[in-house]
Amino acid sequence: MEKVILIATFIKASKYDWFLEFLLQEHGIKKDTVFVFTNEADNGLIVTFRVKLVDGKRININKTFPNSIPVHKKGNAIYTINALNKLIEQESGLTKGNIDYKSYKIDWEKYQGKIILNRGDDLIINPIEKIHP
């Protein structure tokens, strides 16, 4: 059984070439399978790539890929599950325990070209722009 995880790594632009080489040499991830976005919040880059896990294998993302988190995509919006839940809470005006998260409908058009994250109790929505490929 195979499971695929989408990972976003936050890097400085000066580390871009090194990071692409690291992905290829250490993990067999080719440049043409990597997507790169500008991160307007900190003038850095967000590099997204997929990692395949087979036979129930697990991965310690923080150890294997520092400054990385598992993410999901909807069109050109990137988000974490925790941030999505926080977004639903804010949009619905309801509190935890009173929301059916799975049936709530997000207007994804509002979030295209954005990354949705949370830091503590704060929801962070920042513009991003794809620069590769």
Task: Return the DSSP state at 104.
Answer: P
Question: What share of residues in the chain are helix, strand, coil (percent, to 5)?
Answer: 30, 40, 30
Determine the pLDDT at residue 109.
95
Q: Averaged over 67-95, what is the pLDDT?
A: 90
Query: What are the pLDDT digits (tens) for 83-128?
Result: 998 998 888 876 676 677 777 889 999 999 999 999 888 999 999 9
Query: What burial letters (b/e) apply to 41-50, b meaning 16+ CB within 10 Å?
Result: eeebbbbbbe
pLDDT at 34: 95
Which H or E element spans position 63?
Answer: helix 61-64
Mean per-residue pLDDT over the chain, rounded? 89
The residue ranges of every structural domain in the chain are 2-132
| Spatial distance between the Cα atoms of 117 and 114, rounded to a whole number of angstroms | 10
d(CA 40, CA 34): 19
CB-side exposure of 8: number of CA atoms within 13 Å?
Answer: 22
